[in-house]
Structure 1
């Protein structure tokens, strides 16, 4: 193995023994393998400065494939008991036989081929010298009838030999050649259930007379017909939280210490493990306080929003990780917000409402129980007062029986099926993008769209969210047909496109898209532009079974 740790290309002279040396070009920041003593079917390789890719027996001959960069000279030495017959079938190559060895000098390219016959071996050997691009279009497939080598398509999925026909299934992106080296007796080729007209070549292959067609154009619809609905009724002073869990535990299962004198507020201790969690705390007035402080614990990029008697107090978010903290799994902070004196001196009762986006649990990579760290609120204190606050907590509803417990959190819309197909949003106001409004809380957007992708086309489709101003502070949870596709954070990024997996995405029928937009109220919030994006397409593919995506029962 020769490794080049510099950024410049190098040519290295390597001594294999006292009498043999070979010059090997090694690209910058790359490495090259020198192959020696390898059996290539019924012949033996003494050495090669080209990179060995594969060898196989197909039909009446052995085939060996070597790779390299375009234009890089290579040396290949084969042991031969006698002088063989050598034919350069395609490309440029030179050869010479001396002292029981055949030396072949060739430059890898799209189709450099050398056929070696005789020389003491019972079968011919076809040498293919492919450059990087050409080698990416070579596919070996082993069948019960023997090995198959296919050149040309972007992907070979399967190969089956039935009688005199080899049936191939695979993908093409652009128009592509099709050349097949098949077991003995094969004379016909079928590609994706269609017979391909071929001709025999001097390389022992069957080559298609016409190129395989590439993938046809895929047209995606614009996302229109949006409807919107403001959410977070939990922040209102008169919201009915009587069915919520009472937060009154005095001990925690987490590894995070519980503050002295207060109840346990960590969400996991009350059975809420995923997504957002709400808290509502009631207290009587009569005390003078000028600030209220919320201590909380989250994963990376967690945040907290608070309201007092239905009025926004503000939003706090964990800092964006830097190089020193990028692997930090648990973050803690205290958010302090000013309050008007009269809001705590009035007799009350008063209501604090708090939404915590907890983000992820730690993965516990160091096996130190870091995955047991608390999530959610840890304590709430007032400056200048110490009212007794009674807390209730609400997180995610019962797990979706199909989509699983990680699919949903504790937002009001999630608990009431706003993300699901079939939800009755007909009375929601119409909306257009881009949006620009300033509001602390959650707003939902829903629309539907229909795709008509050709069944013989494998199309990869994503959802792209863009905004001209990265300073606009909002986040978007994306739901496709009720399935959680991820979270977009406009002022952090870097991800703007989210893959919509086929199967969850109905590529030949209707789909429902729901966006839960969480904005902190400090800036105008979006979304800006929301559109479907074609990430790639290929002719061929495999049948996709739709994933069960049950809707809401109204």
Structure 2
């Protein structure tokens, strides 16, 4: 929602391309378009112009707010309707706004308006909602949705919270999710629309690597399976991928160990249709599940039709890191058993959870129980396949009915695996002893295949869907055919030609052995269109996929050959602001009116400048009596501002490493800085950290954040005129619609387009970025350089820009081919590394890099360094990446 006339769904905002891609991948979409989405910043997604122009309360039934969101929602409807599942699209639900209360009535009626817009526009899939706590909002009554979901006990109850500086300190799991669901909406599936998949990390934080540890694979193992234990049937993670967040797919698109755990969980769920319909029976606290060690806790879910049991087990103290052993009593089709029966115990290594199944089916075969975890279960060709995994330092046990009547069968000869058969019931028990690691084929016959691996080895396997004739890669709906592929970094797609040739596409980050379990008729394999020599080892086809030697021009390690220009002429004595906007408003819709002054409103958004840096210039006729100016400056968390009188720097605010969203200070004029009888100018260079999201207050107007000068007083005298300048064209007429409304701020160089490709810097002097600004002065300078890349298609080489990890007081804005892709606050951090993807980076040509450097203190050396880091070398199926980096054009 760019402004009240224009919504942009073109180029990188093209939702149709997104929906086409997820459909090709066999994924479903719960679409959450807002207009409010939270996300920690940027007014929670509300268009910034609306925070100034709308007089009514945001996110209510206020008439002018409805007029503001309707064009945007209509644009959403236009792309949603043809992509609904009812039209063979991927969208299965649409969320109505986000994290809100049903009271007062104006909130509920706002939901009614949104829901009516969707329904009248042709949206027929369920409308959903994400309750920020256990508030029972929008289940019944005005504005009620079709499918209710909630986050947790408290507002934004991300159970492990956000302390990335102490990532080993856990919070306990929540125990009342099931009870709450049964109390408020038992007739609907239990739904977590936004469960913790990482952690935010604000300015001055510990860094996202700590957030990844806080929410690591162990966290996923314990907390996500606890949600399963509450009988949840829909769960979405915030985030799987995005602005890093310590997510499973990191910002540079590298797959982490968290992704491996999600794969293990996801394949189990895909393999287990018995889990889709379960009753919550009870747990150890209710007396329905019995363990012999009080340190263990288990919950029983049971499928009422098949009788399959799922004993979801963890430590009673879910934060414990000690290892425990226990035995578990289970109910099975042959009676009550105490597991395990052939090995001493079931083990949990600290923060670990296991799903122990009973009376479980795989293909046409039956598994009585397994204390090993299930990675994959199903049918491949004519074989029933069961792939289990477990830690190599633990004992595991499974009991099943092996087809010993098969024409031929083999069982592993590994000394750490034992078989025991019962003549009474034809039950076979397989004991996997501690010390078993890697990959082991436990049992193989013409009708069955039983596999075991340790968790790390299991995660090297993929189970891509063999596309069906319709709905292609949609498991269960379009196809029930799959294969197992072990070894590659990523397997993207698989097709089978004439029942004999297997075509795999995917990625490699190293040369690896290839292990394939496919239907018996498959005897030929290709990898990314290259034939792979394979041989048959039992049921497996084995071979080797080898990375090709990559021949390309490597990016420079350290960027050099910088050109430099001053980007703060506004503090020069001769600078003219005749064409600037006069700040003369006396009313505002911003929720905090001016704190003091003469009634003039000095908020950037009221004059069209809601995003990025804004410059203010206050004029007064000097008498010699003026000694200082009192300024209250609002810029959001971790903002900064620098203040000058004429061409004399006073100081920057806030001082030290503070992160307030507003400061109120007296700026004393240095001796001799006032020009008596002449025009004097107070210049304020003010950063903007984004507008606030909605908080916990009864009002939803928090995004109407003051950004600018909240109060001013000249001591002594009067400021006769205030003028301001922000991004070129303001939020209505900014020229770069491709890169978008957030891309540019109000720095002189930004307004002139110095950051854009093909801007001519030939007349600029050379100056190294690490030399900082000339004379160690305060101000802003633009540094521009170029370099070339020549990286062939068929390779995926994630590249990041990395600043030095000093603690100098500066702000740097990184532009890559015109795209603002990094904001470095030297004295706060934590972010020093900024991944930039192919498509923004031109991998086959020239790249223009610009850094706007703002030094905050006088006579302090600021020496940033910027280097390029190749995060990985990946070969494979990325495909062509379109480059669209519009060049510089004259603006004045």
TM-score (normalizing by structure 2): 0.58
Query: Match for residue 223 of structure 2?
Result: none
Distance 2:386 2:568 in 1: 66
Distance 1:51 1:354 in 2: 62
* In structure 2, distance between residues paired with 1:254 and 1:373: 6
The 3 A distance-change label for structure 1 pair 482 and 237 is same
Structure 1, gaps ≥5 residues long? 118-122, 323-329
**Does residue 1:21 correspond to 2:355, yes or no?**
no
Larger radius of gyration: 1
Provide, for residues 256-301 of structure 1, a one-character-per-residue CA deviation record: whole Å limited to 9, x for no partner: 1223523000001111110000111111122523221211111111
Distance in structure 2 (CA, Å) of the matches to 1:412 and 1:388: 24
In 1, the alpha carbon distance for the partners of 2:486 and 2:825 equals 44
Residue pair 2:618, 2:719 contacting (<8 A) in 1 also: no
- Any idea what SS the aligned residue of 2:790 has? coil
Structure 1 CA distance, aligned partners of 2:842 and 2:399? Answer: 54
Distance 2:846 2:744 in 1: 22
- CA shift, 1:344, in A, is 4.4
The answer to whether the Cα contact below 8 Å between 2:532 and 2:545 also exists between their aligned partners in 1 is no
What is the CA–CA distance in structure 1 between the aligned matches of 2:886 and 2:461, rounded to whole Å?
A: 42
| Residues 467-517 of structure 1 deviation map (CA, whole Å, 9 limit, x = unaligned) | 5x42x2111100000001020111111111110111101122211100000
With over 3 angstroms needed to count, the CA separation of the structure-2 counterparts of 1:19 and 1:340, relative to structure 1, is closer
Report the counterpart of residue 547 of structure 2 in structure 1: 213
Contact conserved, 2:790 with 2:845, CA < 8 A, in 1? Answer: yes
How far did 1:182 drift? Answer: 2.1
The answer (yes or no) to whether the contact 1:279–1:354 under 8 Å persists in 2 is yes
Could you tell which deviates more after superposition, 128-137 or 520-529?
520-529
2:490 corresponds to 1:155: yes
Partner of residue 350, structure 1: 680
TM-score if structure 1 supplies the norm length?
Answer: 0.92
Alignment correspondent of 1:30: 352
Offset, 1:82:
7.2
Tell me: higher relative CO, structure 1 or 2? Use CA pairs within 8 A at least 6 residues apart. Answer: 1
Q: Secondary structure at the match of 1:183?
A: coil
Could you tell me which of 418, 422, 428 is aligned with 1:94? 418
Contact residue 295 and residue 378 of structure 1 kept, 8 A: yes
The structure where helix makes up a greater share of residues is 2
Q: Is 2:720 the counterpart of 1:397? A: no
User: What CA deviation, in whole Å up to 9, does each residue of 1:174-218 have, x standing for no partner?
Assistant: 21111222235322101011011111221x22211x343377487
Note if 1:447 corresponds to 2:785.
yes
Unpaired runs of at least 5, structure 2: 1-311, 469-480
Matched, 1:113 2:441: yes
Tell whether 2:3 aligns with 1:3: no
Structure-2 separation of matches of 1:81 and 1:343: 95
Partner residue, 2:460: 137
Name the counterpart of 1:457. Answer: 795
Q: Distance in 2 between matches of 1:189 and 1:482?
A: 44
For the residue of structure 2 that corresponds to 1:336, the secondary structure is strand
Q: 1:311 aligns with which of 648, 657, 676?
A: 648
Aligned partners of 2:713, 2:748: CA distance in 1, in Å? 26
**Aligned equivalent of 1:51, options 350, 370, 373:** 373
Task: Give how far 1:57 is off.
Answer: 1.5
Mapped contact 2:501–2:522 kept (Cα < 8 A): yes
Which residue, out of 813, 835, 842, partners 1:506?
A: 842
**Matches of residues 192-271 of structure 1 in structure 2 within 5 Å?**
192-202=528-538, 204-208=539-543, 210-213=544-547, 216=550, 219-222=554-557, 223-260=559-596, 261-271=598-608
Inter-CA distance 45–158: structure 2 relative to 1 (3 Å threshold): same
Q: SS of the counterpart of 2:437?
A: coil
Q: Distance in 2 between matches of 1:416 and 1:226?
A: 18
Give, in whole Å, the separation in 2 of the partners of 1:495 and 1:67: 37
Contact persistence 1:90–1:111 (CA under 8 A): no
Rounded Cα–Cα distance in structure 2 between residues aligned with 1:436 and 1:240: 27
Equivalent residues of 1:306, 1:355 under 8 A apart: yes
How many Å apart are 1:87 and its aligned residue? 2.4
Matches within 5 A, 1:372-411: 372-383=704-715, 385-398=716-729, 399=734, 400-411=736-747
Comparing 506-515 with 257-266, greater Cα deviation is found at 257-266
2-side partners of 1:126 and 1:318: how far apart?
67
Give the structure 2 partner of residue 327 of structure 1. none
* Partner Cα separation in structure 1 for residue 656 and residue 378 of structure 2: 56
Alpha carbons 2:753, 2:888 under 8 Å: kept: yes
Residue number in structure 1 paired with 2:474: none
Q: Hey, what's the Cα distance between the residues in 2 that align with 1:190 and 1:237?
A: 70
What residue is the counterpart of 2:663 in the other structure?
Answer: 333
When structure 1 is superposed on structure 2, of 142-151 and 185-194 the one drifting more is 142-151
> Is the Cα contact below 8 Å between 1:304 and 1:354 reproduced in 2?
yes
- Indicate if the aligned counterparts of 1:289 and 1:341 stay in contact, CA closer than 8 A: no
Aligned length: 537
| Native 8 Å contact 2:793 2:880 kept in 1 | no
Q: In 2, distance between residues paired with 1:331 and 1:165?
A: 62
**CA shift in 2, pair 1:90/1:491, >3 Å:** farther
CA RMSD of aligned residues (A): 2.3
Structure 1 residues 59 and 212, CA gap change in structure 2 (3 angstroms): farther
Q: 1:154 to 1:321 in 2, by over 3 A?
A: farther
Query: Quick check: 1:300–1:321 contact (8 Å CA) kept in 2?
Result: no
Determine the structure 2 residue equivalent to 1:535: 871
CA pair 447-436 structure 1, distance change in 2 beyond 3 A:
closer
CA drift of 1:60 comes to 2.1
User: 2:493 and 2:395 mapped to 1: Cα distance?
Assistant: 34
Q: 1:151 offset after TM fit, Å?
A: 0.8
Question: Cα gap change, 1:354/1:518 in structure 2, threshold over 3 Å: closer, same or farther?
Answer: same
Q: Provide the rounded CA distance (Å) in 2 between the counterparts of 1:47 and 1:217.
A: 52
* Residues 156/80 of structure 1: CA separation in 2 closer, same or farther (3 Å cut): closer
Question: For the structure 1 residues 265 and 499, does the alpha-carbon distance in structure 2 shift closer, same or farther, using more than 3 Å as the test?
Answer: same
For 2:359 and 2:658, the matched residues in 1 are separated by: 51
Residue in 1 that maps onto 2:633: 296
For 1:507 and 1:54, locate their aligned partners in 2 and report how far apart those are by CA, in whole Å. Answer: 39
CA contact (8 A) 1:251 1:258 kept: no
Deviates more, 1:504-513 or 1:474-483: 504-513
